[in-house]
Amino acid sequence: MAEPVEEILDDAPQPKKAAKIMTWTPPMSACLLKCLAHIAAKGVKTDKGFKEVHITKATKDVTQLVGYEVTTTQVTNHLRKWKTRWQKIDKLRTLSGALWNDDEKMIVLADQHYLDHTQDHKGDVEFLNTPLLNYEYMEACFANKLATGKFAMGSNEALGKPIQVECPGKSIDLESGETNGEGFVEAQAAFGIVGEGMDATTPSPSSGSNKKRKRASMLSDEDSVQVSNMSDALRVVAGAINNTCHAETHPDLCKTVMDLPGFEMDHKLAVLDYLTEHKGKGLNFMKMEDVVREAAFKRIIAKNPDLL
């Protein structure tokens, strides 16, 4: 009779499978950025970027598009790449002599300027004189624009929920847009903020009243006078500084504008008046190359139709 064979289990650790390398295609990138851009448009993006719940939402959208599972880590890494692209674009837009074509979403350099720049910075070729892919989505996701009005929330606030200010017996919704002032009097009294002519027993205005309440001044008469004097002094200083900047126009400005080919005389005179009034812009106009100068001429006419 054969002896039973004892089975020996292999307890050695098994090698881990390598993570699947994911190749992002343009439609996948557009799907990711579009989802996050719509989230940012709602005013719920914090100053540090997108919260994890938003990344998860974008991950689900990309997964639904491609038909297989995409991880939040893959989305985060790819989003970091697009943020780097945005920072590069934002820097290139400040190049001397660079123009911005808002219709094509394109940074425009004159031919010679483009050749000189790309010879030293070959990596910038894909960003210059060519439409920028997904520019509007990148701007919504990464531009340093602060939320205002009802969308201005702190990073520790619950997103998508109105801010509530608590006071005895009242809760004031700062986002509804329909606050009629009721509850503010109690709030001032509760926190010790009582203006002249007000006390804790002052009744709140009725909801049917159409009269506007005047905000109580927290400054004394002496303080108000000092603030007014400081404001006047600052206006004088600002005016003096402005008058000393670019006091003279460029001596060749008139000839340069009048020698531009292909433009009507009325347009030339209008642009000359504009550049004479805005002396700083007139000096920059003189520094431009011919191609860039013609484009700037057209831009001035387009942006200031009241000149004609």
- Which pLDDT tens digits describe the chain residue by residue (308 residues)? 555 555 555 555 555 444 467 788 999 999 999 999 888 888 777 767 788 888 999 999 999 998 989 999 999 999 999 999 989 999 998 988 889 998 888 999 998 888 989 888 888 988 999 999 899 998 888 887 544 444 444 445 554 444 444 444 544 444 444 444 444 444 444 444 444 444 444 454 444 445 555 555 566 777 777 777 788 778 777 766 665 555 577 888 898 999 999 898 989 999 998 998 888 888 888 888 888 998 999 999 898 888 87
Q: How far apart are alpha carbons 131 and 127 in whole angstroms? A: 8
* Cβ contacts of 134 within 8 Å, gap of 6 or more: 29, 30, 33, 82
Res 21: pLDDT: 72
87 vs 75: CA distance, rounded Å: 18
* Per-residue model confidence (pLDDT) at position 61: 92
Residue 44 CA: distances (Å) to CA of 54, 75, 175, 195, 214: 10, 19, 13, 35, 32
Check residue 223 and give its pLDDT: 73
pLDDT at 175: 45
| d(C-alpha 74, C-alpha 19), whole Å | 11
DSSP 132: P
Q: Supply the pLDDT for residue 194.
A: 46
The span from the CA of 104 to the CA of 132, in Å, is 8
Residue carrying the six token digits 């520790």 = 156
Q: Of all residues in the chain, what percent carry a pLDDT higher than 70? A: 65
Strands annotated E in the chain: 99-101, 106-108, 164-167, 170-173
CA dihedral 110, 113, 116, 118 (to 10 degrees): -60
pTM: 0.43
